[in-house]
Amino acid sequence: MAKKNINVGLIGYKFMGKAHSNALSKIGMFFDNSANINMKVICGRNEEWIKQSAEKYGWSEYELSWEKLVKRPDINMIDITAPSNVHKEIAIAAANEGKHIFCEKPLALTLADAREIYETAEKNKIKHQIGFNYRFAPAVLLAKKLIDDSKIGRIFHVRANFLQDWIIDPDFPLVWRLDKKVCGSGSLGDLGAHFIDMARFLAGEFSTVMAMSKTFVKSRPLSESMTGLSGKAVSIDPRSIEAGDAAPCADVEVDDGTVFVAEFKNGALGVFEATRFAQGHKNDMSIEINGELGSLKFIFERMNELQYFSAADEPGTQGFRLIQASEAIHPYMYAWWPVGHVIGYEHTFIHELYEFTESIANDKPLNPICPDFMDGVKCSQIIEAVELSCERKALVEVDSL
Amino acid sequence: MAKKNINVGLIGYKFMGKAHSNALSKIGMFFDNSANINMKVICGRNEEWIKQSAEKYGWSEYELSWEKLVKRPDINMIDITAPSNVHKEIAIAAANEGKHIFCEKPLALTLADAREIYETAEKNKIKHQIGFNYRFAPAVLLAKKLIDDSKIGRIFHVRANFLQDWIIDPDFPLVWRLDKKVCGSGSLGDLGAHFIDMARFLAGEFSTVMAMSKTFVKSRPLSESMTGLSGKAVSIDPRSIEAGDAAPCADVEVDDGTVFVAEFKNGALGVFEATRFAQGHKNDMSIEINGELGSLKFIFERMNELQYFSAADEPGTQGFRLIQASEAIHPYMYAWWPVGHVIGYEHTFIHELYEFTESIANDKPLNPICPDFMDGVKCSQIIEAVELSCERKALVEVDSL
Amino acid sequence: MAKKNINVGLIGYKFMGKAHSNALSKIGMFFDNSANINMKVICGRNEEWIKQSAEKYGWSEYELSWEKLVKRPDINMIDITAPSNVHKEIAIAAANEGKHIFCEKPLALTLADAREIYETAEKNKIKHQIGFNYRFAPAVLLAKKLIDDSKIGRIFHVRANFLQDWIIDPDFPLVWRLDKKVCGSGSLGDLGAHFIDMARFLAGEFSTVMAMSKTFVKSRPLSESMTGLSGKAVSIDPRSIEAGDAAPCADVEVDDGTVFVAEFKNGALGVFEATRFAQGHKNDMSIEINGELGSLKFIFERMNELQYFSAADEPGTQGFRLIQASEAIHPYMYAWWPVGHVIGYEHTFIHELYEFTESIANDKPLNPICPDFMDGVKCSQIIEAVELSCERKALVEVDSL
Amino acid sequence: MAKKNINVGLIGYKFMGKAHSNALSKIGMFFDNSANINMKVICGRNEEWIKQSAEKYGWSEYELSWEKLVKRPDINMIDITAPSNVHKEIAIAAANEGKHIFCEKPLALTLADAREIYETAEKNKIKHQIGFNYRFAPAVLLAKKLIDDSKIGRIFHVRANFLQDWIIDPDFPLVWRLDKKVCGSGSLGDLGAHFIDMARFLAGEFSTVMAMSKTFVKSRPLSESMTGLSGKAVSIDPRSIEAGDAAPCADVEVDDGTVFVAEFKNGALGVFEATRFAQGHKNDMSIEINGELGSLKFIFERMNELQYFSAADEPGTQGFRLIQASEAIHPYMYAWWPVGHVIGYEHTFIHELYEFTESIANDKPLNPICPDFMDGVKCSQIIEAVELSCERKALVEVDSL
């Protein structure tokens, strides 16, 4: 059977652009998929950079204008990895052109914008998915399966955090990820969004939240990235690629750390923490769910492992099992290597884009494990509830927003 | 030099009574201490049980009336391990008799009572200490030392939880630890008190809190303990020693789980969780502190270990160190076994009572690492702030109480 | 029912003497035992030290001569914790006096001596046990139970090691533990003996061995302990209590590290390593057994935990379980604290001496989990086979010795 | 500067063929490399399969005859991933044609063959590398760097093992990895080869070995792979791709598990174990090195982590550091994702082939971290010494072979 062509236009070419390019180029090598994925056009404003990226990442062409790209009739899927503040405009334009859209998280800077995007997508009957890639670690999907199979029963507790340590130095510049105009939020939106989605995915909908947040370093040197790309190589962290030297300072308007408690609609209690100020923690996202019959724990830095406690195990031999979730029977692992031959961060992108392109190629609904724009809306809603709670110093009902 | 006699009267003979008896009997065997600790009188209301306990635990005499005990002129130290609801009356009576008092946590069922106890103790110029024994794990004291030595610098984050799983079964009876009249609080007061104290000890004073709590099982069978002691041996958990069979039910008035966020006076953010509904977690108290220069993490079930991250380590070789905190240079370990020959839970009691009896014997102030009744007051204050926040669904300033 | 008096005479008062004194004093406090254990006489040659030890550890009297002690009619149990080179003489004398004997490992310096002790004990029909205390960690006994319950099936592999790091410094003196005349062997006899016993206990008898050993530091300063006890307090390690300053050097005649492979009679393969030259490892004894149906792993420094893999678990959810082996249903734990309230090294001595004294008090055979002098003989046999293999550079059949 | 074309001919298309194809396709996307790597020809005997593989993995052409391939003038690099028993013939032919050769391990089935390959390669002055890919985990290269920087000093101990559990079932068929004619060896050659190489890489040359090995299941059903490739997809393990149903049995002539001890030329002692019979261990390769100044430990299933103990750390704060070896300053990680965004098994192939193609493109010697055919020879030499020791039941000097 002939594969259906999907001609992709990718907007953005940095961290996420690279991750998506890699993913799109690998799906066909590892999966028996239905789509013939053509990496057609990559799009960005800096011609020198975008040209280089096109060549390096294997795109046939490049465009400088996304407005032009979304109108090209030869493109049927738009993949948005541009900075968060342009998601809305691009997504709405692409949806109105009838393109299927994969959009990196967050869907938009505000809940209202996220809703508008969602509604536009639905109105145009396009397929849409949002980049909550952490769902696609096989260990996470195994957790989901165990929950769906009633292995842990009624859920009592959810605890999750996402801890990093890359901006503790007060001389670290105000890069775009710290710029409220670009990102809308700091650690909450960047990191918290991932565990909020995962908590919803595994444990259900949020009911209420109570939150606090802090900006520990209130002023930082402006980085060159504020006015343009420096392109300097940096030895510490690709995310700081635009870091400059001595520079005038500006106020930091986003949170460095946010903590909150929550009640879920099923009655469970949650505790959550997102921060970039936890020394020694690099990309430490973890989530644990405690239920009546068992518990599950996932730690991203050991993403091939799932911890599972079953109260049904024989008394005296109960304990958290350390599952090496890389057996062929674990989600997606049949496509990779023999058990124990671990996979990495980038594979989550391959899995999510495999699902999205399959849905397009076969014109069938998204696999239910995939987050669509409504999941983006719900995540934005919770983030806004958390922010409102910080402001009000009181409990906020999520559905009131 | 002759040792000074300390004649101890111990009130209570169950879990804590046993732990204190053991501790008092071992101090002299392992430490070169100044006191001659006489295990003089153990006190409890059930003559059969208290007589048996006196013999088993090595007490010279027993008393049935604590009122009588605290007046005995031959007793100069009272050790209170009776249920929480009688702490106040005993402590005030003993203080007024000029006895030095070691009191198990919580100091009292309410903040007001705790303050009254503290003031009575101060007025009578007695020595007083409260049983926050977890401070006395060598690994915790090492953490304290590293913090005092400025190894982690300005503190940004505190996260602690105390997770157990012993009352998930809805048929588990309403034992005294679930009885609001006896304990005042559920998981918060029993478990949370420990990490609240430890957070204060390591990271400083709390400023504000926002909390939620839940009683997952709202009604439970009444246990025999409601009307009297059964004395039945139980194979599962000494805490459930009074568990009965089929019985009428009563409402559970204490929290099964409580979660809260907090701001510290030094600006740090905290996340906290106490629960008896976390499947697979047995006595899992953990606390982590993240500072500008490093991080520290302690997990009680691996109490001989401390995790320490130092940002001062050579770049490229940084990582959390797993310190086996049982070297002779670690707090108290010179008294025990060679490095790596681990100690256990009961040793924390030996250490705290060693400090208290040394303070009495030498008539000198308590070692500053010891929590006194003011620490009991502060812990009660935070617990009440947490409870008030649950009620108000809003932020509460701790010092407003 | 009246308890039977056991009047103990303890020979030795250092590391092991302290551990045994502590254990004997605690049995009655925690177990409902049949014996009334009288800590009657402690014996050692240095009057100042032994007098002080008697007082500190709670012994009624002291003796300077073990020859005299073993003849005292009021003593019915002899506990030998003196240096290894005097075990034989004491044990044979005590056995011939009809005293029940608990002897620290090793039973003797040579296999021939060990056999002579065993035969003398048997001839005199006394009860005898050897101090392989690591068997008595609840986690180890749980492993034994799981093996006996056929949970892991046919055994394929055993791997064990005992790693320490306290003599890497070439200036560390030639303390008695490094003196061939006193100990007979270095890391092999001191450390290897423990895992050899545990391998036999859990996996069965050894058939053949092939070994290599090394003395990495071939000459060391003589310590004062060579000529007499210094009694100086030392901050690093009680084992080095006799460490002196500048001193003449002598050759080290024992092994610093020994490694060997083995075949068991049941066909399993083993790998073993004992060393005092493994930086960072403090008292790191671990053993793992892999069988047809499952695997078990124990690490002493986390002695409250047992790792257990069951191939019978549902596919896709299999993984090593981390059992917190401190539930009341785990061996001996009913006597201690609630689950998760961990115990330590010293508890292994309490358990082993509880068993031995129960056997005496009730005049019944030792609990089969207890190692008797025949286990001491078998351990010596394997150690000699390992030493012979090092010498011959070839395989040695254990039963040929 | 124009990149130099490297036209690759890949022989083999299964597990390793897929890993190499993926690697070759990714180098240019992530590294600023000097070569223009053309995935020109893939070669295999089954036309249906090789055609499909060419398409799936992105090769321009396919060939059915390796004899023809190695003669093609448009090919300048041959990559051998065919079964071990054909390595020799192909490698010698390719070398004689002047092609640069990357060959999967083992280099050959015998030491003599390995030497012949090496000599032919040297005589023809081609570049050659062998696929000891585990060296190329960033954490391993960090370990190498720390050793080279004298961070651990004189080495005392090496302990390594490679544990799997996929053939415990006696009904598992005699697939090609269990066929002596194809592989030459069982667990020793397949698994042991990796840690032998890594031990040499990190700790130096072997001097002597003493070994035992076992075939636990002595007869197995013949699989279809014995007579020809079935090509059936299998959901469990790619290694078992040829597994058949009921079939006649044949003797297993290779080892299921091999254990050995070793002395290194620098005086260190080693213990080693390779097995496919360790329940619960999936692809568990680990190696630890203990030196005078520190220790290092690597576990493949947590390949992004390195454990490092430094005796130079401040006393009282020493402990094994858990280094998340995914910072940009760690080997190769600048090319990937931000710190903590872990990589996987397949990345080791990308790194090794990046180095090899760079060496060709720039016509400069291999990076010294790369294993060449001499490393393949030395590994074969140690394997043969181990096998000989099993046979002789005695110590074998490696250099005697």
Q: What is the pLDDT of residues D126-172, one digit of tens each?
A: 999 999 999 999 999 999 999 999 999 999 999 999 999 999 999 99
Residue A67: pLDDT above 80? yes
Residue B243: pLDDT above 90? no
CB contact (8 A) between residue C315 and residue A330: no
**What value, to the nearest 5°, has the Cα angle with vertex D116 and ends D111 and D122?**
125
CB contact (8 A) between residue A278 and residue B290: yes
Residue with tokens 């990271």: B203
> Which among C343, B375, B163, B292 is positioned nearest to A295, based on CA atoms?
B163
Chain B residues within 8 A (CB-CB) of chain D?
142, 146, 151, 306-308, 310, 313, 315-324, 327, 329-330
Note whether B311 and B177 are within 8 A (CB).
no
Residue D233: pLDDT above 50? no
Residue A229: pLDDT above 70? no
Collapsing DSSP states into helix, strand and coil, what is residue B157? strand
CB contact (8 A) between residue B22 and residue C29: yes
pLDDT at A183: 87
Q: Residue C219 pairs with which residues in a beta bridge? A: C251
Collapsing DSSP states into helix, strand and coil, what is residue A294? strand
Report chain D's mean pLDDT, rounded to a whole number: 93
Residue B114: pLDDT above 50? yes
Q: Which chain D residues contact residue C259 at CB under 8 A? A: 261, 269-271
Rounded mean pLDDT, A286-293: 98
By CA distance, what is B339's nearest residue in D? Answer: D316
DSSP string, C295-359: EEEEEGGGTTEEEEEETTSPTTS--EEEEE--STTSTTGGGS-STT----HHHHHHHHHHHHHHH
Q: Quote ipTM for the complex.
A: 0.93
Q: What is the pLDDT of residues A343-357, one digit of tens each?
A: 999 999 999 999 999
Burial of B323 (0-12, 13-18, 19+ CB in 10 A): buried
| pLDDT, averaged in runs of 10, over chain C (401 residues) | 91 96 97 97 96 97 97 98 96 98 97 98 98 98 98 98 97 91 92 98 98 97 54 38 62 96 98 98 98 98 98 98 97 97 98 98 97 98 98 98 95
Residue A234: pLDDT above 50? no
Interface contacts (C, D; CB < 8 Å): 157
Percent above pLDDT 90 for chain C: 90
Q: Which chain C residues contact residue A321 at CB under 8 A? A: 313, 317-322
Residue B232: pLDDT above 60? no
- What pLDDT band is residue A232 in, cutting at 50, 70 and 90? very low
Print burial letters for D145-178: b (CB count within 10 Å at least 16), e (below 16).
ebbeeebbeebbbbbbbbbbbbbbeeebbbbbbb
Residue with tokens 């907007």: A11
Q: Is the peptide bond before A365 cis (omega within 30 degrees of 0)?
A: no
CB contact (8 A) between residue C301 and residue B283: no
Q: Which chain D residues contact residue C256 at CB under 8 A? A: 156
pLDDT at B227: 36
Distance from CA of C200 to the nearest CA of B (A): 23
Tokens of D28: 């240019």
More confident residue, A225 or C146: C146
CB contact (8 A) between residue A273 and residue B159: yes
Q: What is the pLDDT of residues D47-75, one digit of tens each?
A: 999 999 999 999 999 999 999 999 999 99
- CA dist., res. D41 & res. D160, Å (int): 38
- CA dist., res. A319 & res. B165, Å (int): 12
Q: Which chain A residues contact residue D338 at CB under 8 A? A: 15, 166, 237-239, 283
- Determine which of C21, C26, C29, C136 to mutate to test the interface with B (most B C-beta atoms within 10 Å): C29
> Which among C226, C137, C131 is positioned nearest to C175, based on CA atoms?
C226
Q: Secondary structure of C35-98 in the HEC alphabet?
A: EEEEEEEEECCCHHHHHHHHHHHCCCEEECCHHHHCCCCCCCEEEECCCHHHHHHHHHHHHHCC
Residue A227: pLDDT above 50? no
Note whether D325 and D304 are within 8 A (CB).
yes
| B396-397 vs B320-324, strand pairing mode | unpaired
Distance from CA of B23 to the nearest CA of C (A): 11
By CA distance, what is C277's nearest residue in D? Answer: D156
Q: Which chain B residues contact residue C235 at CB under 8 A? A: 328-329, 334
- CA dist., res. B298 & res. B340, Å (int): 17
Tokens of D185: 């060896």
Tally the C-alpha atoms within 13 A of residue C193's C-alpha that lie toward its C-beta: 29
Q: Which among C146, C313, C316 has the least Cβ separation from residue A327?
A: C316
pLDDT at C247: 67
CB contact (8 A) between residue A164 and residue D340: yes
Residues whose CB falls within 8 Å of the CB of residue D363, separated by 6 or more in sequence, listed in order: none
Distance from CA of D124 to the nearest CA of C (A): 42
Tokens of C4: 């039977």
Distance from CA of C350 to the nearest CA of B (A): 14
By CA distance, what is D57's nearest residue in A? Answer: A29
- Strands, DSSP E only, in C96-196? 100-103, 128-130, 155-163
pLDDT at B226: 42
Tokens of D62: 């396919």
Note whether D188 and D255 are within 8 A (CB).
yes
Note whether C129 and C355 are within 8 A (CB).
yes
| B61-63 vs B77-80, strand pairing mode | unpaired
Angle between helix C373-392 and helix C193-203 axes, rounded to 10 deg = 110
Note whether C321 and A313 are within 8 A (CB).
yes
Distance from CA of A319 to the nearest CA of C (A): 4
Tokens of C214: 């090394």
Rounded mean pLDDT, A123-132: 98
Q: How many residues does chain A have?
A: 401
Q: Residue C62 pairs with which residues in a beta bridge? A: C42
> Which among A69, A73, A58, A72 is positioned nearest to A20, based on CA atoms?
A58
By CA distance, what is B277's nearest residue in A? Answer: A156
Percent above pLDDT 90 for chain D: 90
pLDDT at A246: 58
Q: Which chain A residues contact residue B295 at CB under 8 A? A: 278-281
Q: Which chain A residues contact residue D18 at CB under 8 A? A: 29
Q: How far is CA B164 from the centre of its chain?
A: 16
Q: Which chain C residues contact residue D266 at CB under 8 A? A: none
- CA dist., res. C54 & res. C64, Å (int): 12
Q: Which chain A residues contact residue B278 at CB under 8 A? A: 156-157, 290, 295
pLDDT at D183: 87
Q: Which among B239, B301, B329 has the least Cβ separation from residue C338?
A: B239
Q: Which chains touch B (3 or more CB pairs under 8 A)?
A: A, C, D
Q: Which among A210, A281, A290 has the least Cβ separation from residue B277?
A: A290
pLDDT at C2: 79
- What pLDDT band is residue B233 in, cutting at 50, 70 and 90? very low
- CA dist., res. C308 & res. C316, Å (int): 16
Neighbouring CB atoms inside 10 A of C324's CB total 24
Q: What is the pLDDT of residues D102-114, one digit of tens each?
A: 999 999 999 999 9
Q: Which chain B residues contact residue D304 at CB under 8 A? A: none
Percent above pLDDT 90 for chain B: 90
Q: Which chain C residues contact residue D257 at CB under 8 A? A: 156-157, 269
Note whether C285 and C296 are within 8 A (CB).
no
pLDDT at B246: 57
pLDDT at C364: 97
Q: Which among B142, B320, B327 has the least Cβ separation from residue D322?
A: B320
CB contact (8 A) between residue A56 and residue D29: yes
- CA dist., res. B355 & res. D50, Å (int): 77
pLDDT at D223: 74
Q: Which among A315, A322, A329 has the least Cβ separation from residue C319?
A: A322
Q: Which among A315, A321, A329 has the least Cβ separation from residue C319?
A: A321
**What value, to the nearest 5°, has the Cα angle with vertex A260 and ends A259 and A261?**
145
Stretch among A58-72, A234-248, B132-146 having the lowest mean pLDDT: A234-248
CB contact (8 A) between residue A324 and residue C319: yes
Q: Which chains touch D (3 or more CB pairs under 8 A)?
A: A, B, C
- Determine which of D188, D273, D279, D310 to mutate to test the interface with C (most C C-beta atoms within 10 Å): D279
Collapsing DSSP states into helix, strand and coil, what is residue D378? helix
Q: How many residues does chain D have?
A: 401
In angstroms, what is the C-alpha Rg of chain A? 21
Q: Which chain A residues contact residue B275 at CB under 8 A? A: 156-157, 269, 290
- CA dist., res. B221 & res. B250, Å (int): 6
Note whether B384 and B211 are within 8 A (CB).
no
CB contact (8 A) between residue A280 and residue B291: no
Q: Which chain C residues contact residue A144 at CB under 8 A? A: none
- CA dist., res. C58 & res. B96, Å (int): 35
More confident residue, C234 or D369: D369
Q: Which chains touch A (3 or more CB pairs under 8 A)?
A: B, C, D
Note whether B251 and B242 are within 8 A (CB).
no
Report chain B's mean pLDDT, rounded to a whole number: 93
CB contact (8 A) between residue A301 and residue D324: yes
- What pLDDT band is residue A223 in, cutting at 50, 70 and 90? confident
CB contact (8 A) between residue D322 and residue B322: yes
- CA dist., res. D206 & res. D202, Å (int): 12
- Determine which of D144, D145, D146, D321 to mutate to test the interface with B (most B C-beta atoms within 10 Å): D321
Residue A340: pLDDT above 90? yes
pLDDT at B235: 34
Q: Which chain B residues contact residue C344 at CB under 8 A? A: 304, 341-344, 347
Note whether B354 and B135 are within 8 A (CB).
no
Rounded mean pLDDT, B329-356: 97
